[in-house]
Structure 1
Amino acid sequence: MITEERRVNLSREQLPQYIDLVRHTISPSIRASGGRVLCLLQGLIGSPSTTLIQMTQYEDIDSWQLAQGAWTVNREQFAIQESTRILKPISSRPKDLVPPEDRRTIYGYRKFIISPASVSEFAACSEEGIWPRLESEGACILGMWSNAESVSPAEVILLTGYNSLAHWESTRFSPGSPDENNDLWNRESALRTRREDLTIKTFVEIMISTDL
């Protein structure tokens, strides 16, 4: 599996028309070519509302190339700037098919800068130590990816869904243990510390789903 990340910056007045074009023309064409749109997200905090990120999953490079025809529709009047890149999943997420119950309204798009030698350990710390507590509180991990190409330092992209901004705030990790016998907290505390040690730099954009 591979994932295309497509980031588009739009003029404010063209935003509704562009989303309509993606929803009714481009995304159906992608699906007809075998692609699966994971999400189309709009900037909320940390990026302007005129920034969109679309994540689309493909079986392989051949299916990705086939689906590029969906983007040949004329959209120059909408986009101020557009960029794409191929990412590779580095964990059990994204799922092959994302069920409706896994969808959320708000997403944290978090980027980590790490050594390429640390990618596997970083993913394990996240999946085994941090995600269980988050998902026990109603969040949902949509996916974790890294660069498909060999670069140093590497980027890791994590998309986590929340029901609301208040929900996102409520799931933030607090260093004070609520209970010495809380296994989820204790495991997260240890593996979160290790993940922080592996992280060179990190930042997050909070985005809202356009619900394709």
Structure 2
Amino acid sequence: MIYEERRVIVDAKRLNEYLSVCQSDMFPAIRGAGGNVICQLSGLIGNPQNELVQITSWRSLYSWEKAQSLSRIYLDGLCQSEEVRLFRAISSRPKSVIPEGDRRPVYGFRRFFIQPGDLKEFVHCSENGIWPRIESMGASILGLWTTLAVASPMEIVLVTGYRSPSHWEQTRYDAPRHLGVARELWDNENALRRRRVEMTQKSWVCLMQAHDVS
């Protein structure tokens, strides 16, 4: 399984048209070619609204290559620019099938840069230290990926769902601890979070609005 990240800048006046064509034509064509659109997100805080990120899973590099003409067929003239990268999953997320109950209206799209040798420990700290606590607070980890191309530093992409921007704020580690979170989750996270911070050379996050990909 490989994953495509497609970043698109759309004419702001044609954003609704772009989203409509994706729903009616592009997404069904992707599914017909063997792909599955995991998420389509537009800028909310940190990115402009007409900048979109779409992550799609493909069974193989061959199926992905065969489908590369779809964007030109259905979206020609709607995109000001497109950038495409290939990812591989590095953790238990994304799930093979994403239940509707796992989806959220707002997503944090976070990028980390680490040394390649730290990857296994970085994933461990995320899965076993940070994710249990924020998911107990209603967040939903959509996926954790790195680029298919090997580079140093290594880029990690984490996409996490929230009910709202204020919900994202509530799940921050330095937020007040009065939201019903079990003490052991905070304590378990503490050391692993510190270690992940030590491994991270730089990181930033944008909040994005989710669009229907069904």
Alignment match, 1:94: 94
Matched, 1:120 2:126: no
Q: Secondary structure at the match of 1:145?
A: strand
Contact 1:125 1:195 in 2 (8 A): yes
After TM superposition, give the deviation of residue 78 of structure 1 in Å.
1.5
* Alignment RMSD (CA, Å): 1.6
CA separation in 2, counterparts of 1:156 and 1:185? 24
CA separation in 2, counterparts of 1:75 and 1:135? 36
Which deviates further from its counterpart, 137-146 or 9-18?
A: 9-18
Distance 1:40 1:175, change over 3 A: closer
* 1:187-211 per-position Cα deviation (integer Å, ceiling 9, x unaligned): 1111000000000000001000012
CA separation in 2, counterparts of 1:93 and 1:84? 21
Matched, 1:137 2:133: no
The amino acid that maps onto 1:140 is S
Alignment match, 2:4: 4
Which deviates further from its counterpart, 63-72 or 111-120?
A: 63-72
After TM superposition, give the deviation of residue 164 of structure 1 in Å.
1.0
CA separation in 2, counterparts of 1:184 and 1:74? 47
Q: Secondary structure at the match of 1:73?
A: helix
Q: May I ask how many residue pairs the two structures share in their alignment?
A: 211
After TM superposition, give the deviation of residue 175 of structure 1 in Å.
7.7
The amino acid that maps onto 1:75 is L
The amino acid that maps onto 1:121 is E
Unpaired runs of 5+ in structure 2? none
CA separation in 1, counterparts of 2:35 and 2:76? 23
Distance 1:173 1:125, change over 3 A: same
Listed as ranges, the matches of 1:24-43 within 5 Å are 24-43=24-43
After TM superposition, give the deviation of residue 166 of structure 1 in Å.
1.4
- What TM-score does the superposition give when structure 2 sets the normalisation length? 0.94
The amino acid that maps onto 2:2 is I
After TM superposition, give the deviation of residue 67 of structure 1 in Å.
2.5
Unpaired runs of 5+ in structure 1? none
Matched, 1:189 2:200: no
Percent identity over paired residues: 43
After TM superposition, give the deviation of residue 18 of structure 1 in Å.
0.9
Listed as ranges, the matches of 1:76-95 within 5 Å are 76-95=76-95
Alignment match, 1:211: 212
Contact 1:175 1:189 in 2 (8 A): no
The amino acid that maps onto 2:147 is N
* 1:70-110 per-position Cα deviation (integer Å, ceiling 9, x unaligned): 22315342211110000010000001110100000000000
Alignment match, 2:200: 199
CA separation in 2, counterparts of 1:2 and 1:74? 23
